[in-house]
Amino acid sequence: MGTGWELTKQLREQIYKYANYQQTSVSLRQMVQFGPNPSPGSIFLASQFIVEELPIRLALKVKDLENAPLGLSNAPSTIKVKNWYAQSFEELTSLPKPSIDENLSKLLYSKNEETSSNEQVNPAVNELNNVALNNAFSDDGIVVRLHHHSYFNTKQDNYEQHVDSPTFGKKYFTPCPINIIWPKEVYDYNKLVYETLSKIKKRHDATVATMAQGVQEWKVENKTVRVNSSVQTFLDRFYMSRIGIRMLIGQHIALNMSQASPTKSRINNFLNGSKNVSNSLSNSKNNYVGVICTQCNVGEIAEDAIETAKYICEEYYGLFESPKIQLIAPHNPISFMYVPGHLIHMLFETLKNSLRATIEFHTPRLKKQFIEESNNPNLKPDDVDLNDLNFPPIKVIISEGVEDIAIKISDEGGGIPRSEVPLIWTYLYTTVDETPVLEPEYDQSSFKAPMAGFGYGLPISRLYAQYFGGDLKLISMEGYGTDVYLHLNRLSSSSEPLP
């Protein structure tokens, strides 16, 4: 955020006006309709949709942060995050609207003039019927997870307001011709939106960690150890809507980078002209539509997450080799349509927890056993190197069903007491003695999460799973270990769960 920027009264009034609009959800299927080489015309129309939809979502974030419960809105880091969203809102609403002359209008809308009346219904309304997204209690029956959809309850009262929403009845994807020469204005506007979104994305890279620090500041100010239910509900909604915003921005940036152009098509045809020549790299790229992979290989993603988690573990504990992680998967690769970035994040966070639990639970016992077997009475536990200890392995089991792809991560890390199981889903609950503190001017773009300490890994991972209709569950055996079950919806039919 640039120095000297401020949230003016006029800008706040504009933000609150947009915050009254209803959001328009975008389904995974709609996002992949662009194909691996999207038409610049489709990107142009999607850019217009994004420039109208994102300010609504950003405005809601600013309003929510200004009204965060129990004084959380006054925390310095919360104010910093709020100002990031307000500045991004201002940048998007300040963009000049593209001029569409008669010739361009024919190219864009010739095949899309007829729209059935049922397509005018906001797909977000369908979320009301999704029990998995609107449950009042999580399945452990203890943690209340209310999702506020109060604006649906007043749908009739606010109908005029919904009609006035800039994106009411509009779609993210609209089919347009590919093999034509699009006018310069189309490419210019696509580039303008791409550059604006790239700047906004970078600004918000550290939002999760900065908001976590805001909660930490609130806890210190209020002399409390745990996050209560109202703050928990607020953070669930805050982080879930952030996932939606990041998904739209990331997808649109990636689509812009892969949009088709006549020159690019000729070069691709020249380089890959022979149908007999197979190129695994180009084939893998053809599986991607933006950040979504239409043939996401679960086993390969799991292997990447395993290697990353092991590397972080080895760096943190000074190990030559982390505890072993066994991957158990069917012989035939399991592939489905998903966002690899989401999947690797969920697996990495869960594996990181299992590695830490395994090492810290078994180290005292294994050191004692090592000393006994060494026959050296002068040897002390602090003298025993962790690299000399043999830790039990962690198992990652992948299973494929008709509706779900399930991944179980099973460790022998001592488990969690039953009284603490509900707490693992609360923000900033951590078993680490000292929570890491961010420097006032840390580098947002290069920020890396530590091995442990912020206490948002599992709650955020569960939101990632729920975003596309899945879930993350945990079963623990105190004194032995923990099983984490990650359920992924393979039907790819769900729309965004708009809070």
For the residues of 148-216, what is the DSSP string, one character each?
--HHHHTTTTTHHHHHHSTTTT--S-----SSS---HHHHHHHHHHHHHHHHHHHHTTTHHHHHHHHHH
- Model pTM greater than 0.85? no
User: Is it true that 9-267 and 291-489 share their CATH fold?
Assistant: no
* Model pLDDT, residue 200: 97
Domain segments of the chain: what residues?
Answer: 9-267, 291-489
* 154 φ, ψ (degrees, to nearest 5): -110, 30
Burial level of 102, CB count in 10 A (0-12/13-18/19+)? exposed
Catalytic pick among 52, 53, 127, 349? 349
Q: Is 492 left (phi over 0), alpha (psi -120 to 50) or beta?
A: left
For the record, the structure tokens of 305 come out as: 């997450």
Q: What is the pLDDT along the chain (499 residues), one digit of tens a residue?
A: 445 788 999 999 999 999 999 999 888 888 999 999 899 999 999 999 999 999 999 999 999 999 999 999 999 999 999 999 999 999 999 999 998 888 888 888 865 544 433 444 444 444 444 434 443 333 333 333 333 333 334 444 444 444 478 988 889 999 998 888 899 999 999 999 999 999 999 999 999 989 989 998 999 999 887 888 899 999 999 999 999 999 999 999 999 998 766 555 555 444 444 444 344 444 556 789 999 999 999 999 999 999 999 999 999 999 999 999 999 999 999 999 999 999 999 999 999 999 999 999 999 999 999 998 888 888 899 999 999 999 999 999 999 998 899 999 999 999 999 999 988 988 877 655 454 555 544 444 333 445 545 578 899 999 999 998 899 999 999 999 999 999 999 866 666 777 6
Alpha carbon distance 377, 358 (integer Å):
27
345 given a catalytic annotation: yes
CATH 2.40.50.140 fits 9-267, yes or no: no
412 given a catalytic annotation: no
CATH 3.30.565.10 fits 291-489, yes or no: yes
Q: Is 333 helix (H, G, I), strand (E, B) or coil?
A: coil
CB atoms within 10 A of CB 11: 16
Distances (CA, A) of 268 to 176, 235, 279, 280, 284: 20, 46, 12, 14, 15
DSSP-derived pairing of the beta strands 325-328 and 394-400: parallel
Catalytic pick among 345, 360, 408, 478? 345
Alpha carbon distance 379, 216 (integer Å):
41
Catalytic pick among 80, 342, 352, 362? 352
Catalytic pick among 190, 256, 353, 489? 353
* Model pLDDT, residue 490: 84
123 contacts 109 by C-beta, under 8 angstroms: no
